[in-house]
Amino acid sequence: MTWAKSPKQPPRRRWIVGACSLLGLAGLQPSVAAGQIPALPEGASTMWVVSDPEEIVSWRAFDPSRVSDRLPAGVRFLSLGELASAGTSWAEDYLEAHPTQREWGVSFLEILHAGEFALDGRTPNWPDGGAVGLWFARIAPTGDTDLGLGIPLLELEFWVPDAAYVTYMRELGHYASYGDVRLTGTPSGERRGSVSIEGLSLRVSCSPEGPTSGGSTSAGVQVLLPLGTPSVNGVVRIAFAGHREQDCAGDPAWLIEGRHPLATTVAIAPSVLQFGYRLVGGLYRR
């Protein structure tokens, strides 16, 4: 994922992943036609497909000391101070209001439901309103680590509400853990998301408003490091196109309670609803 640099606009992510994305804009690659998913290298050991999604997304600053034990060898967290020093205007603006957070990292949190979510053709056994929750952080390689094609992200959390599917993902080399994650809609169009695990309770709602952006001008590639790998010996590379996005009316707050490191994160930008993209990817062993 990349990051928007307009001084009037906070970072916006187009998946993802938003993914992935964290957060930020995954801009259209110059060599890729509008609306076309960028090509990935051959050699993936799995095939991951996500299509027809809806997701509530929040970009968040976090204290890296709370999750430093999750970093694999060969990478480090990218800091707000680095982004500001490189001229990223939204990071400069944020640090002007939060000057003590220069060493904090940058991440995105989202709750996602998709019409199609399949890994090697298998889909989760969704409960009513079942969804995926994820928390990804921007990282950078250290030393001679080469992560290859894509904006690098560390999968700090990837919750799925199906214990058997969590086991399946892990057996294939993808990171996941169990969490009761839901994303539902109301007749008025409001989306309501929640995550419940031991030590964390999370709630958010989003009523989309205003114009829709993105679509054919959105495409990108990200490289995800699965949590739990002692070193960078395998990555998940994803490509996506077609992100569309609307603001959440009133910039609703995320109610995050518990002892989980997420409870100490701070929102960087207003929440948005993202939808409409298609994502493909897989695990690449190194």
Q: Give the predicted TM-score (pTM) of the model.
A: 0.88
What contacts 33, CB < 8 A, 6 or more positions away? Answer: none
Length of the chain: 286
Amino acid identity at 279: L
* 34, pLDDT greater than 70: no
Predicted confidence at residue 251, as pLDDT, reads: 86
Residue 45, SS3 per DSSP = coil
Query: In 10 A of CB 266, how many CB atoms?
Result: 12
Domains of the chain by residue range = 48-285
Six token digits for residue 41: 């290298």
Nearest to 119 by CA among 5, 35, 236, 27: 236
Q: What percent of the chain is modeled with pLDDT above 90?
A: 76
Whether 134 contacts 13, CB under 8 Å: no
* 3, pLDDT greater than 50: no
* 9, pLDDT greater than 60: no
pLDDT class of 41 with cuts at 50, 70, 90: very high
pLDDT class of 7 with cuts at 50, 70, 90: very low
* 195, pLDDT greater than 80: yes
Predicted confidence at residue 232, as pLDDT, reads: 57
Predicted confidence at residue 215, as pLDDT, reads: 74
Report strand pairing: 272-275 vs 48-62: antiparallel
Query: In 10 A of CB 249, how many CB atoms?
Result: 14
Predicted confidence at residue 229, as pLDDT, reads: 60
CA 273, distance to chain mean position in Å, is 13
pLDDT tens-digit profile of 227-266?
766 555 689 999 999 989 999 999 888 999 999 999 999 9
Lowest mean pLDDT among 23-32, 113-122, 209-218: 23-32
Mean pLDDT of 197-209: 96
Spell out the CATH class of 48-285: mainly beta
Q: What is the mean pLDDT of the chain?
A: 87
